[in-house]
């Protein structure tokens, strides 16, 4: 079986325009099954539009397939196998928790009500509470319980923890990874808080101004990129290797290099793999200068 | 079918205030006022016995009146319901949640459209029947005070209630179908203009009729077909004169004849045209909603 055949989603030349503004500029990507994909970019980079295209919420030029079907033409069918959390505040506020679970049980054939109830055990989310009376954190817990009780093959989370305090954010991701992820499921997350999910991700895609500027497994990032805290007397040697990014932190010069063999970097100072947030900043700056 | 039922149930959850709580309060308030009036009012009545219909006819009129009043309530509240419900998911920021469910936009809007002729209709029929039961209780109380006014026996009252209940429910149902294009019109506008749909639903045809009128007084010779058509549609589904005559006992017949009259006098071709218009509007609204993702 080819990797294309195993892909949960793929796009070729995906383009989206809103009037004169081009939001996606012919992007290509393939998301394999069983991975945890992080989609990272500034506001307006095209992340949400990409997700919307994947979820069949918006029509685009180019080709896009999710689970082998055109998402925009078959959104309702697609949602049998795809779950998404677009915004923690998007649950219907007029319902009670129990009513929400009852309705979703009747509307979604792959929703397991008892599983959702078990996810809510030990939380403050009580069945007879109205959703509008829940705190933002409790709504996030409820929404996560609902999507985790859906036997979906792809789960898409668009800024799922926006506005939540750090305790809820940690609990949210812990629950997701421990109770939901299996090798048959794929998770696609966008967030501004890259540091929080860095350890979860198997793949990362950076976007800038409607283009994909990096699409790689996180395990390959260490092979492709290196961060060096440059020794004071090695600065000019390091600069000769054309770092993609350079900054001074607490009096130390930190540089990020791409595709430079370790034997050339090791003599320059302390070499490590850049964190995703450092790499993101480095690549954004490089692209900005390009 | 299970999903459609759940989607209609969702409409009930969202709008039970208008179709369950408000009518309950209304009925309770009226009941308290009427009971207060009966129990504390003047116990002398100076009516000649010949002016009072028989207790059976009186109760039949009361049931008919109950259905007519609740019919007016249902039509008004449904107008506001349709002006809101088609855009409610965007207003309350839940659009994306519902779009994450494996149900098409057409099915979601169809459920909203059908809620009016199913769950909300049944609730109002229930309130009309409860009102009729209360009226019977009130008649018993009055008859105990004034021998001049009687109340039908329990068996007769129940039989009357069953028969008139069927007639009333059919009348309400057909009325809703008759006014379906009006509801679809305001619902369709709400998808585009949200809360402005109510004034626009009146302003647009009002403007067209006014322009037609201005054109007609200039002597175009074309008459006022649009105004005439709209006026005919607003007149209601049936000619009610004969039905009222039966209801108040001035013409021969009972509930079965009443039902037959309602069905016979219905303008079925216009009913079909209206329903096709409503279906087209719901479809177009669903296609628009399919392309909307903003809250």
Contact, B68 vs B125, CB < 8 A? no
Instruction: Count Cβ atoms below 10 Å from residue B253 Cβ, excluding itself.
Output: 16
* Res. A158: pLDDT tops 80: yes
- Farthest CA pair distance, chain A: 69
pLDDT confidence band for A287 (50 / 70 / 90): low
Q: What is the DSSP string of B118-173?
A: THHHHHHHHHHHHHHHHHHHHHHHHHHH-TTS----HHHHHHHHHHHHHHHHHHHH
| Rounded CA separation B194/B92 (Å) | 12
Does A130 contact B at CB distance below 8 Å? no
Could you tell me which of A56, A11, A70, A12 has the C-alpha nearest to residue A37? A11
| Rounded CA separation A157/A191 (Å) | 8
Q: Which residue has the higher pLDDT, A148 or B148?
A: A148
The total number of residues written for chain A in this structure = 290
* Res. A284: pLDDT tops 90: no
pLDDT number for residue A1? 43
**Continuous segment of H or E residues that includes residue B82:** helix B55-91
* Burial (Cβ within 10 Å: 0-12, 13-18, ≥19) of residue B143: middle
Q: Which of A67-71, A124-128, B188-192, B252-256 has the lowest mean pLDDT?
A: B252-256
Q: Phi and psi for A15 in degrees, rounded to 5? A: -130, 135
pLDDT number for residue A5? 45
Could you tell me which of B19, B28, B16 has the C-alpha nearest to residue B73? B19
Contact, B71 vs B172, CB < 8 A? yes
Contact state of A86 with B94 under an 8 Å Cβ cutoff:
no
Give the 3-state secondary structure of residue A94: coil
Mean pLDDT of A261-275: 91
Q: Mean pLDDT in chain A?
A: 89
The structural domains of chain B, with segments of one domain joined by +, span: 2-40+53-290
**Continuous segment of H or E residues that includes residue A13:** strand A7-18
- Which strand ranges, in their side-by-side order, compose the sheet holding A36-41? A82-85, A154-158, A186-190, A36-41, A203-208, A211-217
Digitized pLDDT (tens) for each residue of chain B, 295 residues in all: 899 999 999 999 999 999 999 999 999 999 999 998 888 876 666 666 566 678 888 888 889 899 999 999 999 999 999 999 998 887 777 888 999 999 999 999 999 999 999 999 999 999 999 999 999 999 888 888 877 777 888 898 999 899 889 988 998 999 999 999 999 999 999 999 988 999 999 999 999 999 988 888 777 666 788 888 888 888 776 666 766 767 666 667 777 888 888 888 888 999 999 999 999 999 999 999 988 776 4
Contact, A149 vs A116, CB < 8 A? yes
Contact, A186 vs A216, CB < 8 A? no
| Rounded CA separation A28/A10 (Å) | 7
pLDDT number for residue A4? 46
| Rounded CA separation B28/B43 (Å) | 24
Contact state of B99 with A80 under an 8 Å Cβ cutoff:
no
What is the DSSP code (8-state) at residue A74? T
pLDDT confidence band for A270 (50 / 70 / 90): very high
| Rounded CA separation B149/B139 (Å) | 8
Does A165 contact B at CB distance below 8 Å? no
Q: Which residue has the higher pLDDT, A104 or A277?
A: A104
Mean pLDDT of A232-244: 89
Give chain B's contact residues with A (Cβ, < 8 Å). Answer: 2-3, 5-7, 9-10, 13-14, 89, 92-104, 107, 290-291, 293, 295
Give the 3-state secondary structure of residue B288: helix
The arrangement of secondary structure in A3-209, i.e. its CATH architecture, is 3-Layer(aba) Sandwich (3.40)
Instruction: Count Cβ atoms below 10 Å from residue B50 Cβ, excluding itself.
Output: 6
| Rounded CA separation A47/A40 (Å) | 7
pLDDT confidence band for A289 (50 / 70 / 90): low
What's the complex ipTM?
Answer: 0.86
Considering only CB atoms, A106 lies closest to which of B6, B95, B291, namely: B6
> How many A/B residue pairs have CB atoms within 8 Å?
82
Best mutation target among A52, A81, A94 (most B Cβ atoms within 10 Å) is: A94
Q: Spell out the residues 6+ positions from residue B74 whose beta carbon is closer than 8 angstroms to its own.
A: B120, B121, B124, B172, B176
Instruction: Count Cβ atoms below 10 Å from residue A263 Cβ, excluding itself.
Output: 7
pLDDT number for residue B94? 86
Does A103 contact B at CB distance below 8 Å? yes
Contact state of B97 with A90 under an 8 Å Cβ cutoff:
yes
The total number of residues written for chain B in this structure = 295
pLDDT above 70: percentage of residues in chain A = 96
d(CA B14, nearest CA chain A) in Å: 6
| Rounded CA separation B24/B127 (Å) | 8
Q: Phi and psi for A269 in degrees, rounded to 5? A: 155, -155
Phi-psi region of A65 (alpha: psi -120 to 50; beta: other; left: phi over 0): beta
| Rounded CA separation A126/A94 (Å) | 15
pLDDT number for residue B220? 63
Pairs from B41-46 (Cβ < 8 Å, separation ≥ 24)? B43/B145, B43/B146, B45/B146, B45/B148, B45/B149
Could you tell me which of A263, A260, A270, A268 has the C-alpha nearest to residue A233? A268
pLDDT number for residue B254? 74
| Rounded CA separation A19/A35 (Å) | 35
Does A106 contact B at CB distance below 8 Å? yes
| Rounded CA separation A237/B118 (Å) | 79
The structural domains of chain A, with segments of one domain joined by +, span: 3-209, 220-289
* Digit-coded pLDDT (tens) for A79-94: 999 999 876 668 999 9
Q: What is the DSSP string of B30-73?
A: HHHHHHHHHHHS-------GGGSPPHHHHHHHHHHHHHHHHHHH
* pTM for the predicted model, two decimal places: 0.87
Identify the closest residue of chain B to A78 by CA–CA distance: B102
pLDDT number for residue B69? 94
Cβ-Cβ contacts under 8 Å, A94 against chain B = 13-14, 92
Q: Spell out the residues 6+ positions from residue A25 whose beta carbon is closer than 8 angstroms to its own.
A: A15, A46, A209, A210, A211
Contact state of B93 with A75 under an 8 Å Cβ cutoff:
no
pLDDT confidence band for A64 (50 / 70 / 90): very high
């Amino acid at each position: 079986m080819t990797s294309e055949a195993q892909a949960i989603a793929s796009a070729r030349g995906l383009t989206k325009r809103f009037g004169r503004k081009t939001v996606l500029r012919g992007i290509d990507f393939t998301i394999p099954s069983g991975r945890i994909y992080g989609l990272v970019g500034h506001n307006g980079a095209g992340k949400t539009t990409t997700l919307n295209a994947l979820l069949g919420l918006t029509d685009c030029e180019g080709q896009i397939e999710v689970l082998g079907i055109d998402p925009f033409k078959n959104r309702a069918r697609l949602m049998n196998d795809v779950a998404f959390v677009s915004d923690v505040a998007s649950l219907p506020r007029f319902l009670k928790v129990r009513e929400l679970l009852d309705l979703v049980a009747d509307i979604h054939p792959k929703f397991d009500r008892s599983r959702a109830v078990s996810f809510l055990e030990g939380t403050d989310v009580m069945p007879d509470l109205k959703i509008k009376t829940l705190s933002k954190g409790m709504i996030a817990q409820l929404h996560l319980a609902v999507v985790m009780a859906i036997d979906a093959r792809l789960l898409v989370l668009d800024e799922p923890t926006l506005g939540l305090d750090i305790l809820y954010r940690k609990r949210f991701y812990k629950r997701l990874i421990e109770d939901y992820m299996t090798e048959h499921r794929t998770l696609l997350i966008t967030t501004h808080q890259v540091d929080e999910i860095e350890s979860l991700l198997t793949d990362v895609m950076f976007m800038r101004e409607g283009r994909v500027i990096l699409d790689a497994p996180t395990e390959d990032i260490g092979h492709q990129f290196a961060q060096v805290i440059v020794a004071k007397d090695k600065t000019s040697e390091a600069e000769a290797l054309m770092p993609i990014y350079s900054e001074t932190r607490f009096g130390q010069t930190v540089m990020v290099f791409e595709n430079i063999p370790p034997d050339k970097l090791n003599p320059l100072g302390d070499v490590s793999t850049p964190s995703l947030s450092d790499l993101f900043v480095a690549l954004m700056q490089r692209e900005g200068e390009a | 079918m299970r999903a459609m039922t759940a989607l209609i149930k969702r409409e009930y959850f969202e709008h039970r205030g208008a179709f369950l709580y408000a009518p309950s309060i209304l009925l309770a308030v009226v009941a308290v006022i009427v009971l207060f009036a009966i129990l504390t009012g003047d116990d002398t009545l100076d009516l000649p016995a010949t002016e009072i219909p028989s207790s059976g006819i009186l109760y039949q009129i009361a049931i008919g009146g109950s259905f007519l009043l609740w019919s007016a309530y249902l039509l008004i509240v449904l107008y506001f319901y349709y002006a809101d419900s088609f855009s409610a998911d965007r207003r309350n920021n839940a659009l994306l949640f519902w779009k994450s469910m494996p149900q098409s936009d057409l099915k979601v809007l169809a459920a909203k459209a059908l809620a009016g002729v199913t769950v909300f209709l049944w609730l109002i029929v229930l309130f009309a029947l409860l009102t009729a039961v209360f009226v019977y209780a009130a008649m018993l109380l009055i008859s105990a005070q004034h021998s001049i006014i009687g109340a039908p026996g329990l068996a007769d009252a129940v039989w009357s209630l069953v028969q008139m209940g069927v007639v009333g429910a059919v009348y309400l149902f057909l009325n809703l179908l008759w006014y379906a294009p009006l509801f679809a019109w305001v619902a369709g506008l709400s998808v585009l203009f949200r809360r402005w749909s109510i004034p626009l639903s009146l302003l647009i045809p009002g403007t067209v009729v006014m322009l037609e009128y201005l054109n007609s007084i200039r002597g175009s010779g074309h008459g006022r077909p649009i105004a005439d058509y709209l006026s005919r549609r607003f007149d209601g589904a049936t000619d009610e004169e004969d039905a009222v005559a039966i209801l108040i006992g001035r013409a021969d017949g009972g509930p079965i004849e009443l039902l037959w009259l309602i069905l016979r006098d219905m303008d079925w071709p216009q009913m079909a045209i209206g329903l096709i218009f409503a279906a087209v509007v719901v479809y177009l609204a669903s296609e628009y909603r399919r392309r909307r993702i903003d809250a």
